[in-house]
Structure 1
Amino acid sequence: MNDANAGATERLLALIGAHLDSIREALDDEQYAELLTRLAALAGTAPDDDREVRRTFQRVRLALLELPLDHPVHEALDSVRLVAAPPGPRAVTGAQDLLARLRLTSPPYRPEPQPVAPDPELDLLRQAPGLSAAEARARCGGPPPPELIRIPDARDGGDRYPEFQFAAGDGTPYEVVLEVNRLLLAEIDPWGAAAWWLSANTWLGGTPASLLGRLPDHRLFGAAGALAEGE
């Protein structure tokens, strides 16, 4: 575990605990309930499951981006980057301590919302060219990396992998796609990540997927980073 990131994680959780009242005042009911839901998910994560700790901690961090820019907790968010090392067991115990305090003064958090049927816009994403699980495995020479976007295929009940994620030359996944998908939490929200790649981006001057191999990787990563950081 990265010691610097561990320290930043602990400082962030300590700041949340020190500013519980102002956090509640700064967020509306829906935003506050979402924060509690994500804290609960983090508190219930197995401490030794680095991948799940990373994912659930990132979701807490993203919920805190709803705070005003000058709020002390928001100002501390940059010290814990989305792509940093897993915050580890101390993030889990910190979330458990926070929930124990919040439950004394706060309404119950709402359960995690259940997935809803895709709307027409998401149906368009579903129709984008894609590979079957077997085809993706062949391209990757083994199990596809978990960072790749995969969406349900209504035709056969399996998963499909949007084809833009794979280079036209050797057919393997673009490294920048894996990096951006980590940033966009594609494992948690594959529809949202796919929408970012396949929707027009005014900053980039086109759809990010169409610019793979044409723009420098750092520009694609920067555009996704601006979204993840709430800019």
Structure 2
Amino acid sequence: MNPEDLLTLIRTHWPDIRSALDDEQRDVVLTRLQVLAAAPAEAWAIRRAAQGVKLALLDHLPPDHSVRSALDGPRLAEPPWEARAVAERARELQAWLTAAAPPAHTAGILADARRRLLAEPSLSPEEVRARCADGAEGTTGLIHLDDPVRGPRYPAFQFTGREGGPLPVVCSVNRLLLADEDPWGAADWWLSGNLWLGGAPAALLGRLPDDLLVGAASAMLEGD
């Protein structure tokens, strides 16, 4: 299965997919589709965003759903598929879904997702620098999100306790997720449910071995 196959599957079976999801689950899938539609036309970005769509469907569709069974086995293939063609197909699908739903609702899904991420506990740049032994240099590898009201914010799950520094496993996973290129996508991975792990990765820090968290992030990138 390549990313174009995934988009075709969604369009062909969207009525069945929609009927199997509650409103919140539908919004998660649509948010991941919007991320794919907005991704740069580069193979790494398209493949990672498409994997996010696939995992959202696997997380939320019932075990006996026909679309879920079509997704369970195949990996998302490496190129030679054309990234530009996939990006265009994603935009076409997004436009089709937007036309099929109330415009005010679909237009606000991505904004709502960002508000959800910004509502999580976070730190200011000054608070982060105080926690980093190397000051500003110590913020490398950390997710920061641009809040239109408060400015840059660093999700608090990235740090040890109330006053500790960055967690090494978080920085390692953030590098895998290319958080410097796509901080919103990386934050969404940490703060959303994960089929492999049985919960949001951020909530499982310190409860699961670090290598399981790294493995789950690697699996998303590799398409397992």
Counterpart of 1:188 in structure 2 is 185
Superposition TM-score, scaled by structure 1 size: 0.55
Aligned to 1:53: 46
Equivalent residue runs for 1:13-162 within 5 Å: 13-47=7-41, 49-50=42-43, 52-65=45-58, 66-78=60-72, 79-80=74-75, 88-108=83-103, 109-111=106-108, 112=110, 113=112, 114-115=114-115, 118=119, 122=121, 130-131=131-132, 134-136=136-138, 144=140, 148-151=141-144, 162=159
- Distance in 1, Cα, partners of 2:220 & 2:35: 23
Superposition RMSD in Å: 4.7
Give the distance between the partners of 1:37 and 1:197, measured in 2 at CA: 19
Q: Cα offset for 1:133?
A: 6.2
Question: Quick one: which amino acid aligns to residue 60 of structure 1?
Answer: V
Find the residue that maps to 1:90 and give its secondary structure: helix
- Give 1:19 deviation, angstroms: 0.7
Q: Could you tell me how far apart the structure 1 residues matched to 2:119 and 2:15 are? A: 37
CA distance in 1, matches of 2:138, 2:191: 16
In structure 2, what residue type is equivalent to 1:150?
I
Which consecutive residues of structure 1, in runs of 5 or more, have no partner in the other structure? 1-6, 138-143, 168-172
* Distance (whole Å) between structure 2 residues aligned to residue 44 and residue 158 of structure 1: 22
Residue aligning to 1:3: none
Q: Distance in 1 between matches of 2:220 and 2:66?
A: 21
Equivalent residues, number:
189
Structure 1 residues 79-101: Cα deviation after superposition (integer angstroms, max 9, x where no partner): 245x9779822331222332344
Q: Percent identity?
A: 29
Which has the higher Rg, Structure 1 or Structure 2? Answer: 1
2:195 equivalent in structure 1:
none
Greater relative contact order, per chain length (Cα 8 Å cut-off, separation 6+)? 2
Take 1:200 and 1:100, find their aligned partners in 2: how far apart are those partners? Answer: 36
Distance in 2, matches of 1:99 and 1:45, equals 12
Question: How many angstroms does 1:27 deviate by?
Answer: 1.4
